[in-house]
């Protein structure tokens, strides 16, 4: 059977199970098992070995320990009055901006993404804090879901990023240069997201709460006093991480400790909401790790079937021009993103794709940001859009509903890819400037 036929069959089986209400993680594992059984020559004993090793290896990671800690920090902010205080502090400054507090989802994901380096942790943490407040204040839920699903992907674009590290190792490129290259596209993407929110709010004024009363500068500053503790906590986490004094996991622990201290000093931490925050973080973390385990087994199946490698080799055989090559690779990675996580997409195709990129004359640092943006799109592309699953499990809304709400922000991601393709200096300017000065 051809690679296209195998891939199509497995995709249809996945859609069938998801439509039948089977748990996402179980669906991914079942599809992986079917692919291993029908389309590889591996004996049954190896199927089981791959299943168990995939489940163990996908969660046996020190870096992954940051995920539940960051989620717990978000739960603490959510279950105490800290999230409410943060929104009250931001509201006076965003009062006259189209979209008002809806921009906090973009700003929060950008700031938190620079700390966590994880799309799932960013999406889950900011959603836990922002969604209840936005819903309580009367903001459109679909716009909030769409912005959170896509802005959560900033966690892998704004450094530090595990995905960037994996690419740098695979491409034998400078990790520092790739980290630096992610900042300007990250800020550009935040501007595009916020720009769409402002435009949408002007088009639908009836779906945006009315502005609050105008306040004097002194009153705005006074009300923003509640932002100071959380702002200092975030700045501290970023500082110790950038300075190299702590790993992402250690920063997550500092974040939990700081959130508990702030909540306790503000008399909003009780034994009841402490237990509730701990159990909430446990449930969300287990959900995410279970999905990761199922995706890891499906990834192993894809590697054994050779689908990613054969697709990349097919593209290489076409002899395309540089621009056409980028267009075909965009489509290729979008297709792979429907069944693979981002890191697997990079690892399974790097050996074939990177020589093609170098031969076409593209800068490897630029291509690293290009592929990270495609991975971001994969995070919100059904049926295996990871951020869609996170929000589905957190809100109870169907992943297809979240995907539809994400379409305009999905377009912003595509526009960002087009901009960096036409103007590659958007990516290369900062690393060239900083590394040039360092030399």
Among 238, 267, 296, give the residue marking a domain's end: 267
Establish if 275 belongs to a structural domain.
Answer: no
Q: Are residues 32 and 176 in the same domain?
A: no
Q: Quote the tokens at residue 268.
A: 């909003």
- How sure is the predictor about 436, in pLDDT bands with cuts at 50, 70 and 90? low
Establish if 370 belongs to a structural domain.
Answer: yes
185 or 229: which carries more pLDDT confidence?
Answer: 185
What long-range pairs does 221-230 form, CB within 8 A, spacing at least 24?
A: 223/88, 223/89, 223/91, 223/92, 224/89, 224/90, 224/92, 224/93, 225/89, 226/85, 226/86, 226/88, 226/89, 227/85, 227/86, 227/89, 227/90, 229/262, 229/265, 229/266, 230/77, 230/82, 230/86, 230/262
> Would you say residue 26 has pLDDT above 90?
no
Q: Are residues 255 and 367 in the same domain?
A: no
pLDDT value, residue 1: 61
Q: Are residues 45 and 104 in the same domain?
A: no
- Give the chain's domain count: 2
Phi-psi region of 420 (alpha: psi -120 to 50; beta: other; left: phi over 0): alpha
Average pLDDT over residues 55-67: 71
pLDDT value, residue 27: 82
pLDDT value, residue 293: 79
Calculate the average pLDDT of the chain.
78
Q: Are residues 49 and 82 in the same domain?
A: no
pLDDT value, residue 188: 93
- State how far the Cα of 95 lies from the Cα of 134, in Å rounded to an integer: 14
Q: Are residues 56 and 78 in the same domain?
A: no
Average pLDDT over residues 368-386: 80
- State how far the Cα of 367 lies from the Cα of 410, in Å rounded to an integer: 20
- State how far the Cα of 304 lies from the Cα of 77, in Å rounded to an integer: 43
- State how far the Cα of 352 lies from the Cα of 315, in Å rounded to an integer: 10
Average pLDDT over residues 134-162: 82
Establish if 133 belongs to a structural domain.
Answer: yes
> Would you say residue 370 has pLDDT above 80?
yes
Please report which helix (H) or strand (E) contains residue 256, including its range: helix 248-265
Q: Are residues 191 and 250 in the same domain?
A: yes
Among 234, 267, 300, give the residue marking a domain's end: 267
Q: Are residues 433 and 301 in the same domain?
A: yes
pLDDT value, residue 438: 44
> Would you say residue 48 has pLDDT above 70?
no
188 or 173: which carries more pLDDT confidence?
Answer: 188
* pLDDT tens for each residue of 226-239: 677 777 877 787 67
- State how far the Cα of 32 lies from the Cα of 50, in Å rounded to an integer: 10
- How sure is the predictor about 251, in pLDDT bands with cuts at 50, 70 and 90? confident
> Would you say residue 377 has pLDDT above 70?
yes
Quickly tell me which residue has 């008002």 as its tokens: 100
Q: Are residues 79 and 40 in the same domain?
A: no
Calculate the CA 378 to chain-centre distance.
9
> Would you say residue 193 has pLDDT above 90?
yes
Among 203, 232, 267, give the residue marking a domain's end: 267
- State how far the Cα of 434 lies from the Cα of 419, in Å rounded to an integer: 22
Establish if 365 belongs to a structural domain.
Answer: yes
* pLDDT tens for each residue of 64-77: 677 788 778 777 87
- State how far the Cα of 148 lies from the Cα of 105, in Å rounded to an integer: 6
Q: Are residues 400 and 329 in the same domain?
A: yes
131 or 194: which carries more pLDDT confidence?
Answer: 194
- State how far the Cα of 393 lies from the Cα of 288, in Å rounded to an integer: 9
Minimal CA–CA distance to 189: which of 380, 433, 420, 428? 420
User: Where do the H-state alpha helices sit in 80-209?
Assistant: 82-90, 103-116, 119-136, 141-151, 162-171, 175-181, 183-203
**Cα diameter, the chain:** 73
Minimal CA–CA distance to 256: which of 67, 114, 105, 395? 67
Residue-wise DSSP of 269-338: --HHHHHHHHHHHHHHHHHHHHHHHHHHHHHHHHHHHTHHHHHHHHHHTT---HHHHHHHHHHHHHHHTT
Q: Are residues 56 and 203 in the same domain?
A: no
pLDDT value, residue 160: 63
> Would you say residue 145 has pLDDT above 70?
yes
Let me know: does 66 contact 116? Beta carbons within 8 Å: yes
Establish if 247 belongs to a structural domain.
Answer: yes
Minimal CA–CA distance to 342: which of 199, 184, 166? 166
Q: Quote the tokens at residue 369.
A: 């940001």
The CA-based angle 125-379-290, given to 5 degrees, is 65
pLDDT value, residue 395: 76
Number of H helices, E strands in the chain: 22, 0
* pLDDT tens for each residue of 253-308: 888 898 888 888 877 788 888 888 888 888 877 877 787 777 778 777 877 777 76
58 or 149: which carries more pLDDT confidence?
Answer: 149
> Would you say residue 116 has pLDDT above 60?
no
- State how far the Cα of 223 lies from the Cα of 259, in Å rounded to an integer: 20
> Would you say residue 394 has pLDDT above 70?
yes
Establish if 197 belongs to a structural domain.
Answer: yes
Rounded to a whole number of angstroms, the distance between the first and last alpha carbons of the chain is 54
> Would you say residue 439 has pLDDT above 60?
no
Establish if 282 belongs to a structural domain.
Answer: no
Q: Are residues 250 and 345 in the same domain?
A: no
Q: Quote the tokens at residue 164.
A: 């960037």
Establish if 210 belongs to a structural domain.
Answer: yes
Q: Are residues 100 and 155 in the same domain?
A: yes
Q: What percent of the chain lies above the pLDDT cut of 90? A: 7
Domain hosting 236: range is 63-267
């Amino acid at each position: 059977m051809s690679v296209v036929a195998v891939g199509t069959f497995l995709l249809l089986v996945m859609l069938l199970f998801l439509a039948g209400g089977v748990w996402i993680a179980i669906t991914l594992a079942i599809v992986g098992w079917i692919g291993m059984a029908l389309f590889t020559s591996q004996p049954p004993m190896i199927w089981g070995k791959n299943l168990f090793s995939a489940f163990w290896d996908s969660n046996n990671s020190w870096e992954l320990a940051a995920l539940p800690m960051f989620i717990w920090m978000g739960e603490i902010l959510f279950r105490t009055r800290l999230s409410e205080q943060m929104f009250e502090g931001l509201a006076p400054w965003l009062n006259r901006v189209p979209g008002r507090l809806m921009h906090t989802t973009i700003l929060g994901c950008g700031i938190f993404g620079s700390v966590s380096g994880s799309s799932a942790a960013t999406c889950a943490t900011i959603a836990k804090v922002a969604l209840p407040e936005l819903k309580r204040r009367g903001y459109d839920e679909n716009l909030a879901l769409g912005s959170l699903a896509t802005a959560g992907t900033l966690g892998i674009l704004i450094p530090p990023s595990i995905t960037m590290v994996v690419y740098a190792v695979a491409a034998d490129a400078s990790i520092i240069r790739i980290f630096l290259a992610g900042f300007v596209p990250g800020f550009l993407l935040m501007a595009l997201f916020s720009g769409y929110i402002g435009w949408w709010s002007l088009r639908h004024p009836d779906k945006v709460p009315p502005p609050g009363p105008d306040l004097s500068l002194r009153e705005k500053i006074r009300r923003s006093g509640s932002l100071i503790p959380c702002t200092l906590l975030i700045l501290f986490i970023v500082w110790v991480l950038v300075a190299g004094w702590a790993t992402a996991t250690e920063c997550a622990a500092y974040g939990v400790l700081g959130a508990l201290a702030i909540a306790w000093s503000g008399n909003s931490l009780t034994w009841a909401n402490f237990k509730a925050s701990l159990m909430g973080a446990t449930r969300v973390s287990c959900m995410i790790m279970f999905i990761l385990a199922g995706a890891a087994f499906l990834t192993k199946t894809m590697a054994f079937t050779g689908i990613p490698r054969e697709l990349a080799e097919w593209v290489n055989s076409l002899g395309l021009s540089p621009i056409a090559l980028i267009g075909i690779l965009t489509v290729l990675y979008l297709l792979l993103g429907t069944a693979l996580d981002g890191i697997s997409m990079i690892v399974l195709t790097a050996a074939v794709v990177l020589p093609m990129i170098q031969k076409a004359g593209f800068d490897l640092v630029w291509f690293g940001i290009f592929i990270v943006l495609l991975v971001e799109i994969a995070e919100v592309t059904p049926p295996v859009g990871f951020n869609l699953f996170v929000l589905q499990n957190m809100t109870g809304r169907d992943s297809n509903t979240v995907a539809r709400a994400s379409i305009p922000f999905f377009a912003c991601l595509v526009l960002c890819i087009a901009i960096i393709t036409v103007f590659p200096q958007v990516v290369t300017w900062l690393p060239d400037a900083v590394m040039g000065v360092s030399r």
